[in-house]
Amino acid sequence: MPLSPEARSLAARCAPHVNELARRMARESFEELPGYPQLPDDVKDLEIAATARHGVRLFLKRVNEPERSERSGDHRLFRERAAQRAEEGMPLHLLLRTHALGVYALWQTLRDAARPGEEAALVELVDVLLESHPGVVGAVAETYLDERSALEAEQRAQQRSLVRGLLDGMVPPGHVLLDRLRLEGPSLVLALGVDAPPAEGPVAVRRRLRRMQTVLDQVFGVDVLALLDGDGGRVVVPGDDVPPEDLPLRLSRASGLRVRVAAVPADGPEQITGAARTATEILRITRVCGLPPGLHRLDDVLLEFHLSRPDESSPRIAALLDPVAERPELLQTLRTHLAHRQDRRATADTLGLHPNTVDNRLAKIAELTAIDLASPRGTALAIAALLLRDSENGTGTSKSEDGYKGRP
């Protein structure tokens, strides 16, 4: 709707004072905002004053061209400044308040310039001012949030790269880059394993990982350094925290999947790489041995850990199970039987078999491999063979072979 001549005349009387108004905004109007007085003078006198000047001139252009629609270039400077403020770390609420105060300062200027009888013209100009303000605020907020999101994603990627380098031993302890991780003194290293993860799209996986990350942060009271993926991941918790026994249960509830956790303490940053290897190996051993998901420490699998260490005898021990390598039902029965401490009824219940079927399968294993599962030596050989075969294959245990049917 065209503006009245009176409204245009009122706006025109303010045009010669654009520079003065912009300087007053930058030097007076915004000074009441928290943190604004601490900004460098050149930022106030150049960038902020220029942005205010652009905003006032854009308003005057709309007054002179009321039929002019909003153009993409109108908000370009606002967007550029919003991106700069986001990169500098200025809070969004402070940035938006500068725009709100700028609108108020412009309103004051129009009000002071209005003469008696120009009340209706002043209302027309306020309509133009308030109508255009949401578009500016929207452009500023959108650009700011996009820039912050990009910066945070870049920071997370850098952090993940550093954590991965530390866990894998690619970035040596004491490296200057590791100062960003703020790792001093002891830490707790966790290896997480998700049993039988479903085939999900990337969005569903990201949501599950965010829920697991939230649980970890809440449990330990810090922002833990986590490398999570669809199958689990590795975590470094700064400090000498002890994981709660129900941590796997909490992670399972958050993810909707069965989660097993291996925990290894590290006395200092230089021990984190070794602790990560140990935690990953503990996790592998619990799967190979058919242990149910839960919280596992080295003490829980001391014998199995020792038996899984490769040496000159390893290939021959692993080969003991070659005769049943193509019989997955026999390997599954053996694994489950050992996990249940050779309790045939518990093995049968877990596998959904009759106890006699379990006996027949165990007898077949003994016949084909010559391993006496009834003797301590035979049991140790069977455990070692399972562990060493899994280590050689590097594939871990099939998610369907651990025989576990319940929740942790």
Is the pLDDT at 396 greater than 60, yes or no? no
The architecture that CATH gives domain 5-150 is: Orthogonal Bundle (1.10)
- Among 371-375, 382-386, 394-398, whose mean pLDDT is lowest? 394-398
Q: State residue 184's pLDDT score.
A: 80
Is the pLDDT at 394 greater than 60, yes or no? no
DSSP string, 248-261: HHHHHHHHTSEEEE
65 — pLDDT class (breaks 50, 70, 90): confident
DSSP string, 13-75: HHGGGHHHHHHHHHHTGGGGSTTGGGS-HHIIIIIIHHHHHHHHHHHHHHHH-TTPPP-GGGG
CB atoms within 10 A of CB 173: 14
Is the pLDDT at 398 greater than 60, yes or no? no
Choosing among 3.40.640.10, 3.30.70.141, 3.40.50.300, 3.30.70.270, the CATH entry for 178-300 is 3.30.70.270
Phi-psi map region of 174: left, alpha, beta (phi>0 left; psi -120 to 50 alpha): left
pTM above 0.85, yes or no: no
Q: State residue 400's pLDDT score.
A: 31
328-356, pLDDT tens digit by residue?
999 999 989 988 888 889 999 999 999 99
Across the range 355-362, mean pLDDT stands at 93
12-24, pLDDT tens digit by residue?
999 999 999 999 9
- Among 23-27, 165-169, 404-408, whose mean pLDDT is lowest? 404-408
Is the pLDDT at 399 greater than 60, yes or no? no
CA-to-CA distance for 43 and 193, rounded, in angstroms? 51
What is the domain partition of the chain in residue ranges? 5-150, 178-300, 317-393
Percentage of the chain lying above the pLDDT 70 cut: 93
Q: State residue 395's pLDDT score.
A: 42
In CATH, what class is 317-393? mainly alpha
**What is the residue-averaged pLDDT of the chain?**
87
- Structure tokens belonging to residue 50: 């220029």
CB atoms within 10 A of CB 244: 12
Q: 226 - beta bridge partners?
A: 235
Across the range 234-239, mean pLDDT stands at 92
Q: State residue 196's pLDDT score.
A: 72
Task: Identify the burial level of 248 via C-beta atoms within 10 angstroms of its C-beta, where 0-12 means exposed, 13-18 middle and 19 or more buried.
Answer: buried
84-134, pLDDT tens digit by residue?
999 988 899 999 999 999 999 999 999 999 999 999 999 999 999 999 899
Is the pLDDT at 6 greater than 60, yes or no? yes
Across the range 267-278, mean pLDDT stands at 91
